[in-house]
Structure 1
Amino acid sequence: MDPQESNDIHRRRVLKDVASVSLAGAVGAFGRPTQAAEKSANGPIKAPDRNPLIADENAKPGARDWQLTRVRLDKTRGLRSPPIEGYCSKQSVLAGESIDFHVSTTPASRFKIEIFRTGYYAGRGARLMTTLGPFDGHTQPLPDVGEKRIRICDWDPATSFTIPDDWPSGVYLGRLTTESDTSGFGYWQNYVVFIVRDERPADILLQCSDNTWQAYNQWPDGYSVYTHPQGNQGPWADVSFDRPYGKYPQIFENPQTFGSGEWLCFEFPLAYWLEKHGYDVSYCSNSDMLTPDRALKCKAFISNGHDEYWDIRQYESVVKLRDAGVNLLFLSGNSVCWVSPFRSSESGAPNRIIFRGGPYGGEHRWAKLREQEHGPFPHRGPDEGYLMGVRNVEPVNGGGDWVCTNPQHWIFDGTGMKEGEAIPGLIGWEYHGDPPEDIPGLEIVAQGTALQSGVNPQKWASTIYPGPKGNFVFNASTIWWCQDLASPPGHWLPWSHWSRPHGPDERVQQITHNLLKRALS
């Protein structure tokens, strides 16, 4: 969607006094423009002028061939692909720093690594940055089952690669491809995934939800924080980033998830859409948010997709962002649900092991319910509602329509939406609800009912509230928000609980433009 130019948006001055909110700092009155100023004489609000860095990058030729086309499972309904698989030594890396690629091939075979940056690229979705190899691969050992069922690979690196200075921030996929094997079946493929970050001032910082990718990762065969014999919601299992990403085990059977975590299924459509419209976006991992320093250089911080697992330092960092005037957009669901403390690997590499330490929620009833059913936990986080505007609820998974309840709000400018109008299937796979009643200025902009497996109804709500410096916190309250922004190559629409998003919708696109226009102005 390409909205037309609009008049400048004016807003009232923000009240100087801000009200204190427990556990989340101060929030003030939200400066909303007058109704006349909200309406554009020329039509809907458009995206800002294209950022030269993003525009120039996406003007470069995209790759016609970057997806996985030949993946071989270890068994029927398996989770791994032994012919070739690998992992990276870091979740994220700065230009000029090095990263190791650890790869195993079974049987031993030569292979190459093609590194692609994901983005828009005239609709192709990725650009080939370089090709490494060929290398002589060999079979590397499956790790033993360690304490708390952790599986940690100690594989020899195939190569160490220094990120060129001119590579922009983004999410990068290394496509691993073997030469033809001796069985006559031809070549095999898999991905490794890593983030290139930068430290420049940027309009938008997009946080990837890679803690959640790893929490759900069952490589090699049912080893995640959800698969412990004691139950799937306790603090009993550790998981390590020093292992490949297996196939994503829920929602759909998408071979593109091999090695790529949840990036292509739950998060890539947002990045694709932002870069299509030339927004000035930089990328980071969950582990890059243990301090607020990087994000304080940005105007807006976005939580994307399925952002469930946060180290408590991430929470504290994002509270500081809000209180410093950074706009927060939770285009995500089930976010800030579990405290997931980082610790270093056995070799001393920082932030390579996490576990489910305990619930966020403070003394709220949902946190107590989680502890009664699954605890005791060694950690407890504050009430996430006072940061996000809404909370995780029980049941937290299900599906439904996203229903407008406040059409006069400026986020709906240019959409033409009316009260009660629904965007079909946009709520899911998990969502938020139960907004705190004592956040000054909080408004519910959409709400409705989700159904778990067609039954078990639960109320969800999408909210917005003012920060202390004219900024705002918006919560879309669904993992699937980005599914209605774009449908890039390599992406499949998910489904769950007898509901599914329907794909790109101009109303979701316009709402997101409106939020970013306000955040960046």
Structure 2
Amino acid sequence: MGSRSRRRRPLAAAAALIACLLVASACAGPARGPKESPSTASRTATPTQPWTVTENAKPGTGDWEIDSSAVAGDAQLAGYADHTSVLPGESFGLFVTSTLGDVAVAAYRVGAYGGAGARLVWQAPQPIKAVKQPDPVIEADHMVVAKWAKTTDVATTDWPEGSYLLKLTAGGKSRYVPVTVRSRSTAGRLVIVNAVITDQAYNDWGGYSLYDGPGDSRSTRVSFDRPQKGNGAQQFFGDELAPIQLAEGLGVDLAYVTSVDLDREPDLLNGASGMVSMGHDEYWTVPERTAVEKARDSGTSLAFLGANAVYWRVRLEDGQTGDRRVVVGYKNTSDPKKNAVNTTVMWRSQPYPHPENSLTGMLYECFPAYGDMVIQDPTFPLFDGTGVKKGDKIPGVVGIEIDRAYPIPGTPDALTVAAHSPVTCGSNKHTYSDMTYYSTGKAGVWATGSMMWVKVLNGPNGKYNITDASVTFVRRVMENAFRQMAKGNGKGALQTTPNLSGLNASASTSTGTGGPVDK
């Protein structure tokens, strides 16, 4: 979030409250998956249809949901997995603490499933014996680690690839543990990237995150070896759940990986038709970005569904349960690894500045901002079927963090600004939120420029002026984008009209809070 290495307390509380109000599932139980539109693909599978059609024809269930009154407290029930992802058939360790009695465990795969939102894939044959695990350990750099005994191993035999929620239940209370069953190959497929590195940066379970801590402190290293805050998968519900459910219902060939996987496997996106960065994908490692840029240059189209993507440069280190279990993010020159390509500062800052606009098309602009999305180019192909005209306003689609296109080095020459929306950042900074697109010839890169974009899929919200029309617009554009990106073979790029120069945009970033761009 923004250029601040530490959020002010009132601002942090306000941001958390906004997330809770906007997406009830972020702080409690999730809303049921978005209803399928008439354009959703048929559920009758044929040999030529993608595997997701057959998968989503299976019966779903609402049992995966946790009511807000049934979310367990941190000290009552919590858990974590020792892998952010595994291949189908591999096992992962599950670590659970409970003061509420023995724990039932069930694994649900997120999807469309006729509107149910998830499918029960596995459940433990009997409840796990309750154990109250030790209090977390606060290590150097205020890193919180839950040094618990492993509760059980979970084998993913016959689990299809996808995003999973393990639901832990004891004494009438429940909590989630998220796990990804990643794809062996992404070739010819639209790739969903679970932004687990960013999730961990914001996770303050145990008292510390890369933003906050007791008093005036914060962590500079955070561990995956601990539960997540809130319902156990809070960031996932706010920024990834709804677009995954939508994509699963479209009948396109999907693949699943995490941001950690992209750091580990530089060729993981080889041959992928498209890659989707979800609603909040702020923290990137150097190997991850290198892998994505290589894929784009080789013909993989990209979608950035939120704002503030590729803002902080971080690196991964090994932890107590394996490799890449620690996220390092000093956010300033206090990083002991100085003057290196992976020194943990903003991507736009020294040393080795590599601003995000050369990848996403835009720069992170500001927080907080709210407003309507204003159409700049109604001929933009992803607007097909929406009926929009230039100057039309789509209520409530812009916020809470936004991006803006700047005519500066790194910004793609042939950038199309599809929406150009005036907003007030904070109390007095007047600026714009943009939606942009550019083509490399082989691939296209689309960025919504608004963190509110994916949250609109959760339905109308009077507090933020999100209407039924807003939901219909966002859903149609997303369907168009996913289907276009899934074409692959160089067919994912769109023909658009570059127009940034005609907007007379300033090259100064002083209108926002993202900070200056170093040279």
Is the structural similarity TM-score above 0.5? yes
TM-score by length of 1: 0.76
What is the match of residue 271 of structure 1?
244
CA contact (8 A) 2:80 2:177 kept: yes
Residue identity in the other structure for 1:509: R
Please report how far the alpha carbon of residue 345 of structure 1 lies from its aligned counterpart in structure 2 after TM superposition: 0.3
- Structure 1 442/317 Cα, relative in aligned 2: closer, same or farther at 3 Å? same
Aligned residues: 429
What is the match of residue 171 of structure 1?
163
CA distance in 2, matches of 1:435, 1:329: 19
CA distance in 1, matches of 2:246, 2:179: 20
Please report how far the alpha carbon of residue 486 of structure 1 lies from its aligned counterpart in structure 2 after TM superposition: 5.3
- Structure 1 114/71 Cα, relative in aligned 2: closer, same or farther at 3 Å? farther
CA contact (8 A) 1:240 1:354 kept: yes
Q: Deviations for 1:268-307, whole angstroms, at most 9, x for unmatched residues?
A: 1101111122222122111011244222231001101111
Q: Deviations for 1:48-74, whole angstroms, at most 9, x for unmatched residues?
A: 787441111111111131112376788
Please report how far the alpha carbon of residue 46 of structure 1 lies from its aligned counterpart in structure 2 after TM superposition: 6.3
Matched ranges for 1:153-232 at <5 A: 153-164=146-157, 166-178=158-170, 180=171, 187-200=172-185, 201-220=187-206, 222-228=207-213
CA distance in 1, matches of 2:307, 2:175: 28
TM-score by length of 2: 0.76
- Dislocated runs of 4+, deviation >6 Å: 45-50, 374-379
CA contact (8 A) 2:195 2:280 kept: yes
- Structure 1 375/392 Cα, relative in aligned 2: closer, same or farther at 3 Å? closer
CA contact (8 A) 2:203 2:229 kept: yes
What is the match of residue 13 of structure 1?
none
Please report how far the alpha carbon of residue 316 of structure 1 lies from its aligned counterpart in structure 2 after TM superposition: 1.1
**Structure 2 residue 103 is matched with structure 1 residue 111:** yes
CA contact (8 A) 1:70 1:188 kept: no
CA distance in 1, matches of 2:349, 2:437: 31
Q: Which has the higher contact order (CA 8 A, sep 6+)?
A: 1
The secondary structure found in structure 1 opposite 2:402 is coil
CA distance in 1, matches of 2:422, 2:216: 28
CA distance in 1, matches of 2:99, 2:402: 41
What is the match of residue 367 of structure 2?
396
CA distance in 2, matches of 1:129, 1:274: 19
Matched ranges for 1:96-495 at <5 A: 96-106=89-99, 109-132=101-124, 133-164=126-157, 166-178=158-170, 180=171, 187-200=172-185, 201-220=187-206, 222-228=207-213, 237-247=220-230, 258-290=231-263, 291-347=265-321, 349-358=322-331, 381-393=353-365, 395-437=366-408, 439-453=412-426, 455-469=428-442, 471-485=443-457
Identity of aligned residues (%): 28
Q: Which runs of 5+ in 2 are unaligned?
A: 1-37, 44-48, 333-343, 488-519
Residue identity in the other structure for 2:184: E
Residue identity in the other structure for 1:53: W
- Structure 1 58/49 Cα, relative in aligned 2: closer, same or farther at 3 Å? closer
Residue identity in the other structure for 1:280: D
- Structure 1 111/481 Cα, relative in aligned 2: closer, same or farther at 3 Å? same
CA contact (8 A) 1:426 1:502 kept: no
CA contact (8 A) 1:338 1:357 kept: no
Residue identity in the other structure for 1:385: N
The secondary structure found in structure 1 opposite 2:114 is helix
Please report how far the alpha carbon of residue 413 of structure 1 lies from its aligned counterpart in structure 2 after TM superposition: 2.0
CA distance in 1, matches of 2:277, 2:189: 14
Q: Deviations for 1:323-380, whole angstroms, at most 9, x for unmatched residues?
A: 1011011112111010121111045x11111132448xxxxxxxxxx98xx9999965
The secondary structure found in structure 2 opposite 1:168 is coil
Q: Deviations for 1:380-410, whole angstroms, at most 9, x for unmatched residues?
A: 55111011100112x3332111111011222
